[in-house]
């Protein structure tokens, strides 16, 4: 990087140099961090006035908002047709590496992607996540477009907050409203079904009818099938429709809407998928994607554990229904590091897919730490072990803690190889919030800032492997 004229002690990211009208701008790096440089002050921007008449701006949401007004290429967009890929960034420093991974592909990136749960754990906000993505795109000079996903939304208030900030994709998580109908006796199931105000309407709509799905065959609901689907999902559908209507009122020019039904104990059957989407359509909800619960285990930070042929069969059914009911994407959540699945997913979905990753970029950061500052990695490992019993509570994991090596028994040279060990990856993954909110998180960010080139290169290689196996390289 070169030194910016008239600004001793700062270096400019060359790819970020741009002109907006009569103003030159760039992202710069100094000993205290990164800043947005403007050759002269403009309305909407806040920062330190410079002797040459320029402005040095902190990388805040307010300055990101002002930036997209003068350089609209950095404003989040809606998803175009074709495959898409979500790059979650729990630290706020991964976007340059994500962009390098996605170059020369035909997949559309979601560069701002975080859930309310993740933000609560890291202490970040939707505004900060979006600002980090905007400035990361500026740093790389990336103008190919990206989306912003407010992920796993469980309240309408959170959805509207993200809409106000400029998010374009909203992932509704109605899992709190899903009833575990498989656990109910037939008598209790019938009682609950009979109590539904829509019971007669549902019987007219589904019972005794056959639905022809190209590539799948005929779907039909037995009385038990209909009762189970309605009791299990109807309230979840109504909640999703409520969120959709609130967003439609807030964003009359349009938005993308995903419905996630993956956080359930049992796989989503083709009949259940059909029922959920049909009921959403009857409520005039237009979806961009749906995230079903697949068979097998899609645990965090490790590869798929299950029968690939069963996964292939189920995926074919979901894709056939998606094509028949509007051509929305099938979304794969917990998509990080599911390397054995990607070729199957890419082939069967044939471009009609969305993949979400998040935790893997944090683990790549720890690889950099392990190589560059082994003692810090060792401390993060010890701290994560101590936090694991509590932090794992909201995750489905099968971690074998007895297989974990002692952090003190390993040499500095052995530490980077630990990141290939599935049990350790899960321990490190789930403790991210506890690490990032404390002193270790501050040290981690300092190291990544010092070795940001290493981090970007490692992300490019690791996420590039994901995209290679998904078949989206040009």
Report the CATH number at residue 346: 3.20.20.70
In a domain, 195, yes or no: no
Range of the domain at 173: 81-179+208-359+465-469
Number of structural domains (the chain) is: 3
Same domain for 281 and 377? no
The strand ranges marked E within 280-326 are: 289-291
- Alpha-carbon span 471 to 378, nearest angstrom: 36
Same domain for 24 and 124? no
pLDDT score of 1: 41
- Alpha-carbon span 214 to 323, nearest angstrom: 8
pLDDT of 28-76, one tens digit each? 999 989 999 999 999 999 999 999 899 999 999 999 999 999 999 999 9
In a domain, 319, yes or no: yes
Q: What is the DSSP letter of 220?
A: E
Same domain for 231 and 272? yes
Same domain for 373 and 353? no
CA dihedral angle for residue 32, residue 33, residue 34, residue 40, rounded to 10 degrees: -10
Same domain for 157 and 99? yes
In a domain, 196, yes or no: no
Same domain for 214 and 273? yes
Same domain for 19 and 48? yes
- Alpha-carbon span 201 to 198, nearest angstrom: 5
Q: Comparing C-alpha atoms, which of 110, 101, 192 is closest to residue 145? A: 110
Q: Which residues are designated catalytic? A: 151, 258
**3-class DSSP string for 17-83:** CEEECCEEEEEEEECCEEEEEECCCCCCCCCEECCCCCEEECCCHHHHHHHHHHCHHHCCCCCCCCC
CA 177 to chain centre: 22
pTM for this prediction:
0.96
In a domain, 410, yes or no: yes
Same domain for 135 and 245? yes
In a domain, 199, yes or no: no
From first to last of the 474 residues of the chain, give the pLDDT tens digit: 455 655 778 999 999 999 999 999 999 999 989 999 999 999 999 999 999 899 999 999 999 999 999 999 999 999 999 999 999 999 999 999 999 999 999 999 999 999 999 999 999 999 999 999 999 999 999 999 999 999 999 999 999 999 999 999 999 999 999 999 999 999 999 999 999 999 999 999 999 899 999 999 999 999 999 999 999 999 999 999 999 999 999 999 999 999 999 988 889 999 999 999 999 999 999 999 999 999 999 988 899 999 999 999 999 999 999 999 999 999 999 889 999 999 999 999 999 999 999 999 999 999 999 999 999 999 999 999 999 999 988 788 888 888 898 888 888 988 998 899 999 999 999 999 999 999 999 999 999 999 999 999 999 999 999 999 999 988
Same domain for 17 and 41? yes
Phi, psi of 125 (to 5 degrees): -130, 165
Q: What is the DSSP letter of 283?
A: T
């Amino acid at each position: 990087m070169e030194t910016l004229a008239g600004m001793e002690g700062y270096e400019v990211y060359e790819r970020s140099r741009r002109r907006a009208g009569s103003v030159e701008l760039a992202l710069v790096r100094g000993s205290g961090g990164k800043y947005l440089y403007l050759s002269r002050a403009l309305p909407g921007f806040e920062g330190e006035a410079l002797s040459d008449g320029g402005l040095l701006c902190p990388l805040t949401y307010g300055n990101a908002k002002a930036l997209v007004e003068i350089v609209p290429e950095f404003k989040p967009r809606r998803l175009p047709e074709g495959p898409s890929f979500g790059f979650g960034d729990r630290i706020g420093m991964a976007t340059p590496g994500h962009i390098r991974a996605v170059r020369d592909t035909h997949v559309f990136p979601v560069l701002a992607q975080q859930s309310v749960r993740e933000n609560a754990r890291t202490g970040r906000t939707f505004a900060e996540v979006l600002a980090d993505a905007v400035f990361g795109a500026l740093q790389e000079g990336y103008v190919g477009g990206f989306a912003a996903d407010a992920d796993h939304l469980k309240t309408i208030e959170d959805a509207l907050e993200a809409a106000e900030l400029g998010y374009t994709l909203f992932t509704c998580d109605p899992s709190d409203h899903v009833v575990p109908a498989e656990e109910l006796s037939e008598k209790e199931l019938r009682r609950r079904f009979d109590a539904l105000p829509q019971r007669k309407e549902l019987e007219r709509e589904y019972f005794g009818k056959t639905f022809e799905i190209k590539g799948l065959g005929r779907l039909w609901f037995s009385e038990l099938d209909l009762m189970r689907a309605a009791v299990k999902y109807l309230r979840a559908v109504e909640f999703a429709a409520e969120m959709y209507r609130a967003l439609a009122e807030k964003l009359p020019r349009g938005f993308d809407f995903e419905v996630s039904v993956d956080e359930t104990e049992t796989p989503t059957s083709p009949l259940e998928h059909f029922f959920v989407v049909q009921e959403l359509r009857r409520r005039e909800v237009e979806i961009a994607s749906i995230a079903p619960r697949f068979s097998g285990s899609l645990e965090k930070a490790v590869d798929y554990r299950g029968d690939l042929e069963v996964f292939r069969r189920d995926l074919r059914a979901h894709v056939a229904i998606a094509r028949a009911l509007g051509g929305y994407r099938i979304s794969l959540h917990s998509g990080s590091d599911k390397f054995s699945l990607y070729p199957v997913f890419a082939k069967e979905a044939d471009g009609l897919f969305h993949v979400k990753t998040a935790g893997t970029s944090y683990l790549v950061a720890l690889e950099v730490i392990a190589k560059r500052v082994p003692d810090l990695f060792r401390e993060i490992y010890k701290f994560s072990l101590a936090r694991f019993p509590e932090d794992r509570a909201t995750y489905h994991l099968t971690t074998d803690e007895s297989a974990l090596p002692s952090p003190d028994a390993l040499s500095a040279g052995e530490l980077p190889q630990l990141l290939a060990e599935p049990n350790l990856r899960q321990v490190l993954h789930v403790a991210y919030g506890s690490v990032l909110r404390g002193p270790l998180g501050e040290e981690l960010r300092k190291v990544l800032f010092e070795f940001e080139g290493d981090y970007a290169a490692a992300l490019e290689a690791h996420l590039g492997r994901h995209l290679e196996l998904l078949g989206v390289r040009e």
